Amino acid sequence: MSFMYDEEIDGPLPTVDRADLATALRAGAPELEILTELEDLRPFECDGLAAYRTVPLLVVLPSTVYEVRAVLQIAAARGVPVVARGAGTGLSGGAMPLEKGILLVMAKFNRILEVDPHACIARVQPGVRNLAISQAVAQHDLYYAPDPSSQIACSIGGNIAENAGGVHCLKYGLTVHNILKLDMLTIDGELITLGADAFDSPGFDLLALFTGSEGMLGVVVEVTVKLLPKPQSVKVLMASFDDVACAGGAVADIIGAGVIPGGLEMMDNLSIRAAEDFVHAGYPVDAEAILLCELDGSQDDVEEDAERVGALLREAGATELRVARDEAERQRFWAGRKNAFGAVGRISPDYYCMDGTIPRRQLPRVLKEIARLSDEFSLKVANVFHAGDGNMHPLILFDANKPGEMDRAEALGGRILELCVEVGGSITGEHGVGREKINQMCVQFNSDEIEYFHAIKAAFDPSRLLNPGKNIPTLHRCAEFGKMHVHHGKLSFPELERF
């Protein structure tokens, strides 16, 4: 079943004349930048899920809240769908355009409006880059904690849409834990404030509901983020293992012992070798797996935790243990991890990056099963991931030019995600559902649960104009998916019978 929008399965869309729509938008917002020529539209045909491309009907780049409102109101009046886009770095196709829809690019909303170092908050526009926030507040020894690998480019608005995580989310939480308040426009152009400057807000928690909703409930126009004081001290340990499952076990040991590292990352042999060839991080190329464990906090605390973690790693079977001697070596250790995807891209014509989450204690079992599936599908899989929070990123290596390999990679990816669900995890950690996981949502949730998602969607956007076809599958799609889908007799859904 294709990742592309399918009107029969995902719902019909009206056919709208591009020139007519552009004329209406110009009338409603005279200063609005509108792109309608194919050569201008082409750069927006995909986001970070680059294997799937659609040229949008047209692109708008508003620079004021009034312009965003005008676009939404005109779209609502004409029944034209709207896909909002931040920096376009998302990996699940959440900002993939529709050929019958407007692509609303928020890139011009790039101002940091206010920094209050005393209250540890910043008020920013949604197009501000994630890293730009930390850079702007570094003078106050503060930073913004969530750090997706794309943080140099990705925008805070996109981070909210996908509830982005990163290396540090194990200790400091996801985007939803690091924002206080946001202003958003509904499809009707109403301005709604979610959350508050205070730490809690009465009524239903719409701020959390909105975070991770992938542009299906409204369009963010302003956000207040929390800032954290920079840790006094940081230390990175690298442990080598000659068995992947042992490395997985060590992760559970560390967390179970009550240490919450700033980051706890794992790479398998294939990733280690690819990364080492690429950035010369100093990784042990013969190891079956390495763990990178970053500890942050006060100097004494970090020293103490480093000793405990070192002992736990040795007990778990680490064959070598190294501590980054200085900041330069620490940066090198991380450079390998942060460039792992790019490094794998050098050794394979194509790769498919998965993003499943599992309970930590299931790591050894799941890693073994992925190795078995890799054999079964005759496709290599490199494992690079946020081990501490059980967020796996298996990279499936394939060559799209070889007949059938891409389909096989997709099928293997589906099996890995179902495995995640089977062990009590979920089909996405931090990349979101977008278009990519739309079928797997039918595995994660039963039709009753999906109906509640649709009911919530309908509460905000009854005409389904905001990012249709993403995040929440239609029941029709799940029925079709069920027909073609073999359940392996293992998947279980919560039923009353277990009580």
Q: Which stretch binds its own copies (CB under 8 A): 286-294, 327-335, 352-360, 375-383?
A: 352-360
Nearer to its own copies, 201 or 319 (CB): 201
Q: Confirm or reject binding of residue 159 to its own copies (CB under 8 A).
A: no
Cross-sheet strand order for the sheet of 112-116:
112-116, 121-124, 219-226, 179-185, 191-195
Supply the minimum distance, in Å, between the C-beta of residue 387 and its own copies: 12
| Residue of 86, 60, 50 whose CA lies nearest to 158 | 86
Supply the minimum distance, in Å, between the C-beta of residue 429 and its own copies: 6
What whole-number distance in Å separates Cα of residue 71 and Cα of residue 35?
Answer: 13
Nearer to its own copies, 168 or 437 (CB): 437
Q: Confirm or reject binding of residue 24 to its own copies (CB under 8 A).
A: no
Q: Confirm or reject binding of residue 91 to its own copies (CB under 8 A).
A: no
What whole-number distance in Å separates Cα of residue 394 and Cα of residue 203?
Answer: 39
Would residue 79 be called left, alpha or beta, if left means φ above 0 and alpha means ψ between -120 and 50 degrees?
left
**Other beta carbons less than 10 A from residue 415's beta carbon:** 17
Q: Which stretch binds its own copies (CB under 8 A): 329-337, 393-401, 407-415, 447-455?
A: 447-455
Nearer to its own copies, 6 or 188 (CB): 188
Q: Confirm or reject binding of residue 138 to its own copies (CB under 8 A).
A: no
- Identify the bridge partners of residue 225 per DSSP, sorted by sequence position: 122, 179
Contact residue for its own copies among 4, 24, 66, 131 (CB under 8 A): 66
* Cα dihedral 374→492→216→393 (10° resolution): -20
Supply the minimum distance, in Å, between the C-beta of residue 496 and its own copies: 5
Alpha helices in 195-326 (DSSP H): 206-210, 244-256, 269-279, 299-315
Nearer to its own copies, 140 or 322 (CB): 140
Which residue reads 């005008």 in tokens? 70
Contact residue for its own copies among 167, 220, 433, 466 (CB under 8 A): 433
Structure tokens at 33: 């930048």
Q: Which stretch binds its own copies (CB under 8 A): 240-248, 394-402, 407-415, 424-432?
A: 424-432
Q: Which stretch binds its own copies (CB under 8 A): 36-44, 188-196, 235-243, 474-482?
A: 188-196
Asked if 265 and 171 count as a contact pair (C-beta separation under 8 A), the reply is: no
Contact residue for its own copies among 107, 131, 209, 411 (CB under 8 A): 209
Nearer to its own copies, 121 or 238 (CB): 121
| 473, amino acid identity | P
Structure tokens at 473: 């599958």
Q: Confirm or reject binding of residue 233 to its own copies (CB under 8 A).
A: no
Q: Are strands 58-61 and 102-105 parallel, antiparallel or unpaired?
A: parallel
Q: Of residues 162-181, which lie at the interface with its own copies (CB under 8 A)?
A: 163, 165, 169, 173-174, 176-177
Structure tokens at 93: 């196709």
Supply the minimum distance, in Å, between the C-beta of residue 330 and its own copies: 21
What whole-number distance in Å separates Cα of residue 33 and Cα of residue 29?
Answer: 9
Contact residue for its own copies among 151, 155, 391, 474 (CB under 8 A): 391
What whole-number distance in Å separates Cα of residue 474 and Cα of residue 167?
Answer: 33
The number of residues that bind its own copies (CB under 8 A) is 89
Contact residue for its own copies among 17, 204, 401, 486 (CB under 8 A): 204
Q: Of residues 266-305, which lie at the interface with its own copies (CB under 8 A)?
A: 297-298, 300-301, 304
* 111 three-state secondary structure: coil
370-389 mask for its own copies (x: CB under 8 A)?
Answer: -------------------x
Q: Confirm or reject binding of residue 108 to its own copies (CB under 8 A).
A: no
What whole-number distance in Å separates Cα of residue 323 and Cα of residue 333?
Answer: 10
Q: Confirm or reject binding of residue 252 to its own copies (CB under 8 A).
A: yes
Structure tokens at 25: 């938008």
Contact residue for its own copies among 229, 342, 349, 482 (CB under 8 A): 229
Nearer to its own copies, 281 or 472 (CB): 472
Q: Of residues 300-329, which lie at the interface with its own copies (CB under 8 A)?
A: 300-301, 304
Q: Confirm or reject binding of residue 261 to its own copies (CB under 8 A).
A: no
Contact residue for its own copies among 7, 31, 99, 197 (CB under 8 A): 197
What whole-number distance in Å separates Cα of residue 383 and Cα of residue 481?
Answer: 27
Q: Confirm or reject binding of residue 149 to its own copies (CB under 8 A).
A: no
Alpha helices in 42-175 (DSSP H): 65-78, 130-137, 156-162, 169-172
Contact residue for its own copies among 283, 334, 460, 481 (CB under 8 A): 460
Q: Confirm or reject binding of residue 335 to its own copies (CB under 8 A).
A: no
Supply the minimum distance, in Å, between the C-beta of residue 449 and its own copies: 6
Q: What percent of the chain is helix, strand and coil (3-state, nearest 5)?
A: 40, 20, 40
| Residue of 455, 444, 453 whose CA lies nearest to 419 | 444
| Residue of 180, 182, 165 whose CA lies nearest to 217 | 182
